[in-house]
Amino acid sequence: MTSHTSANPTKPNVSWADLRAYKHWEIIKELSLPLPWLALSLWATSNGWYPVTIIAAFYFFLTGLRVTHNAFHYCLGLSKLVTDCVMFVLSVLMLGSLHAVQYTHLLHHRHCLTALDVEGAVAKQGFWETLYKGPLFPIHTHKAALVGSKGTQKRWIKLELLANILWLCTIWFWWDNELLQVHSVLMLVAYCFSAFFAVWTVHHDCDHESWDNSRTLRSQWKCLVFYNMFYHIEHHLYPQVPTCHLPELAKRLDAAGYTTHKRVI
């Protein structure tokens, strides 16, 4: 079969429905991915090993994003209510409202890289602009979600933001817990870089008028390092496929001849 080129606007058609299903152990594995990194981060802080703390906190945020990315599309293998509760818990541990991020993320999928895409707007910026404007990104996305969301979605957002306020007040003023204080600061820093890592890297210089609007990654060791989070064209084509099955989806796309996607790195 001939390879895909930019002149071919046809969306790839491969078998993917079987990849939606989890095995029971896969659900447990997905949910537990952030826990060792959180434990390592807190332990390193308690021992004054701050370089290890920073690395572990980065990976906690990364694996937390992997879990919530699946949760945004309700493809964690759990019920909707339990998935919402998972997002609530991670909203407190990672800070911010993940239901707010879910709102702008689903807009991103419906209107990818268009004027209606709040999340994807940063992909049109330059490298340095994306970095120095990074702290504004979570503010813009949360504001858009508070304005645009309705009903249950808005109630979850407000509940998560309230929980964040109570949590931060507890660890900074009432409990005065240094371990969690350091963790909260690192989560805020991570959010400042989320526009670059989660959006710009996978969408810059991509065309909003084509299905081929994302980048991807094929290096096995890089995919291992980044927990398969950069199989992004695969995710946009079939968002109901959980992250743990994206490598198999990528193999099927490549076997079908769609091998000329723009690469992340």
Average pLDDT over residues 4-33: 81
Average pLDDT, the chain: 91
A 10 A CB-CB count for 212 gives 23
Q: Each residue of 148-185: pLDDT tens digit?
A: 999 999 999 999 999 999 999 999 999 889 999 999 99
pTM, two decimal places: 0.91
Q: Is residue 71 scored above 50 in pLDDT?
A: yes
Give the whole-number percent of the chain exceeding pLDDT 70: 94
pLDDT band at 20 (very low <50, low <70, confident <90, very high): very high
d(CA 73, CA 242): 9
Contact between residue 47 and residue 66 where contact means Cβ atoms under 8 Å apart: no
- Tokens for 15? 């078998």
pLDDT band at 2 (very low <50, low <70, confident <90, very high): very low
Q: Shortest CA distance to 99 belongs to which of 85, 110, 112, 113? A: 85
Q: Is residue 257 scored above 90 in pLDDT?
A: no
> In this predicted structure, what is the pLDDT of residue 265?
65
> In this predicted structure, what is the pLDDT of residue 94?
97
Average pLDDT over residues 197-204: 93
DSSP state of 150: -
Q: Is residue 207 scored above 70 in pLDDT?
A: yes
> In this predicted structure, what is the pLDDT of residue 220?
87
